[in-house]
Amino acid sequence: MFLKGTAVSKGIALGTLFVYRPNAAEATESYCQDGEKAIHVERFALSGRTAIEKLRQVGKDLPENEAKIFVAHEEILADEEMEKEIIELINKHNYCGDWAIHTVYAKYAGLLQSVEDPLIRERAADILDARDQLLAAWSGKERRSLSKLEAPVIVAARDLFPLDTATLDRDNVLAIVTEAGGGLTSHAAIIARARGIPAVLGVPSLLERVTDGQTVAVDAFEGEVILAPTPEKLEQYEKRLEEWRRVQKDNLKYLDAEAKTADGVRIDIGLNIASADEEDLRGVDHCDSVGLFRTEFLYMGRSTPPSEEEQLAVYGKVLSVFNPRPVILRTLDIGGDKTAECLELPKEDNPFLGVRALRLCFTQPDVFIAQLRAALRASVSGQLWLMLPMVGSIDDIRLAKHFIAEAKDRLTSEGYPVAGNVKIGVMIEIPSLALIADLVAKEVDFASVGSNDLCQYCCAVDRQNADAAEYYQPHHPAMYRLLSQVISEFNKAGKPISICGEMGGDPLAVAALVGLGLRKFSMGLSSVGAMKRALAALTVPKAEELARTIQGLTTEAEVLRHLRENLAN
């Protein structure tokens, strides 16, 4: 049987299926006597403390970016409004404590699940996960987990909550397949990618179609799951798995190599990071710069924005570790597919086209100035390049420069040193900016193409909408024509231009982009070895020929076919 979902972490897997159903304590409708109310309230309080303590024990052994998930869970478990409602159900309506917990948490999860924004809907998983931990503490039962598996398996589940993914036995999880959670921003997707585990999410009616112990093949490139493959299919996937493992092993050999083409042209490889923890910074010896520091993750999963001093410590550490190599720090990019509980975001029908990123910063100047002050204070620790996201016009650039100048003036007047060589650049992700690239190059020191949003706006498709996925076409000929114009104008102006979206780590796209004149790319560490390997097999004349040809083709399918045929090793 062939199933289809969303590929969120690339790879191939073949093995035995393990159907994971957390046996968390379940609450049924039940009521207590008047004389038992105080006991239930006290037991509820004890359960909350127990659940929080367990979260802290789990979180202390995790990388910082994964441990942040549990900070959000702690805040949920300590939420005063939910606590008040639970106690009220016990005292006024005689609910047993576990039934009151179930009722209130279900209410709040339901509110999130009814929101149109897919990212907010995914956060309902945090509510339900916290509820299950609280109910487990109430019952005194250990929740079933994926932390210790007896043998290598492909995990199938309705959904994986953050606690499941953060503690899973990485040595024995071959792949992850879920019925829910199809978004690229779900916890399961984020952690699967970070750990290199193939994952296909959002498979409809998955648990109705699978059984424990059956043989399964997972293609997490195409988002395909094959149940009980025939001997012919089994042989086919065994060969694909062997080839994928060989490629992964070969890619590792290139991790420490210099990034250059077969004819000796040097290519700059930047690293995409989201924090200053060890996991994010372990690519320091393999890259030429930080091509994208996603600072928004400092704001996510917390009830108050990070302070200037907190941001200073993080930015200063990254700048110091990479010094004298540049660190491109992207200012706050919240909105669209990313939300932050600590900021007031407008309720919009289409947040991708609304008040997000730089537009949001303009409406919350205190937040923006605090970030700029922290970044500028940190500039003395290394080579800071400030990059502005969601820029649509020259007016946006000039207004942002005004904020930067104001922050710098304040710091100078207060006696704080600021480096004199801070560069200011923009993300090119809105077509209106791409089409005036020649004018933009006169206003800024550098630019980086955000290919994910540029494709979304160029193709007029919500990249989070699974029903419209076929219209999201990063290899559309129009994309390459638009990129050709941007790269050409910045090269003519002698200003650095790079790409930091998904195309920046795609060997097919990179070959064409080198042909268009791009010499700077940024990607996650897991893509660096593969990228250096692909570059080593490519000559600039061949890349230029590819770039010319694909701009004359008519469909994305034609572009992909041409690139694959001409780049096959």
Check pLDDT > 70 for residue 66: no
pLDDT digits (tens, 9 = 90+) for 489-510: 999 999 999 999 888 888 899 9
Tokens of residue 54, six digits: 């367990």
SS3 469: helix
Check pLDDT > 90 for residue 292: yes
pLDDT digits (tens, 9 = 90+) for 349-389: 677 788 888 999 999 999 999 999 999 999 999 999 999 99
Check pLDDT > 60 for residue 184: no
User: Which amino acid, one-letter code, is at 481?
Assistant: R
Distances in Å between the alpha carbon of 458 and those of 425, 444, 454? 21, 23, 6
| Assigned superfamily of 34-139 | PtsI, HPr-binding domain (1.10.274.10)
| pLDDT at residue 350, rounded to an integer | 73
Distance CA(125)–CA(340), nearest Å, equals 16
Distance CA(163)–CA(186), nearest Å, equals 13
pLDDT band at 183 (very low <50, low <70, confident <90, very high): low
Q: What are phi and psi of 171, to 5 degrees?
A: -75, -20
| pLDDT at residue 446, rounded to an integer | 98
For all residues of the chain together, what is the average pLDDT?
88
Ordered strands of the 2-4 beta sheet: 2-4, 224-227, 215-219, 12-20, 153-157, 173-178, 199-201, 6-9
| pLDDT at residue 159, rounded to an integer | 81
| pLDDT at residue 63, rounded to an integer | 63
Q: Give residues with Cβ within 8 angstroms of 381, minimum separation 6.
A: 315, 316, 317, 319, 320, 323
Angle (CA) 110 114 116, round 5°: 150
Check pLDDT > 70 for residue 138: yes
DSSP 8-state symbol, 295:
G
Half-sphere exposure of 505 (CA within 13 A, CB side): 18
Q: Give residues with Cβ within 8 angstroms of 303, minimum separation 6.
A: 75, 341, 342
Residues 92-120: what's their mean pLDDT?
84
Check pLDDT > 90 for residue 282: no
| pLDDT at residue 309, rounded to an integer | 95
Q: Which of 167-181, 446-460, 468-482 shows the lowest mean pLDDT across its residues?
A: 167-181
Q: Which of 194-208, 332-346, 365-379 shows the lowest mean pLDDT across its residues?
A: 332-346
**CATH level 2 (architecture), domain 2-22+145-232:** 3-Layer(bba) Sandwich (3.50)
| pLDDT at residue 323, rounded to an integer | 96
Check pLDDT > 60 for residue 44: yes
Check pLDDT > 80 for residue 67: no
Written out in words, the top-level CATH class of the domain with range 254-567 is alpha beta
pLDDT digits (tens, 9 = 90+) for 218-248: 999 888 999 989 999 999 999 999 999 998 8
Where is pLDDT greater, at 282 or 57?
Answer: 282
Distances in Å between the alpha carbon of 470 and those of 179, 363, 464, 473, 483? 20, 35, 12, 7, 21
Residues 52-73: what's their mean pLDDT?
72
With tokens 């424990």, the residue in question is 212
As annotated, the active-site residues are: 187, 500
User: Which amino acid, one-letter code, is at 203?
Assistant: V
Check pLDDT > 60 for residue 569: no
pLDDT digits (tens, 9 = 90+) for 557-566: 999 999 999 9
Check pLDDT > 80 for residue 469: no
Domain ranges of the chain: 2-22+145-232, 34-139, 254-567
With tokens 């090119």, the residue in question is 428
Distance CA(486)–CA(72), nearest Å, equals 40
| The model's pTM | 0.74
Proportion of the chain above pLDDT 70, given as a percent: 91
Check pLDDT > 80 for residue 400: yes
- CA 326 from chain centre, in angstroms, equals 22
pLDDT band at 464 (very low <50, low <70, confident <90, very high): low
DSSP 8-state symbol, 8:
E
Q: How many CB atoms lie within 10 A of CB 393?
A: 14
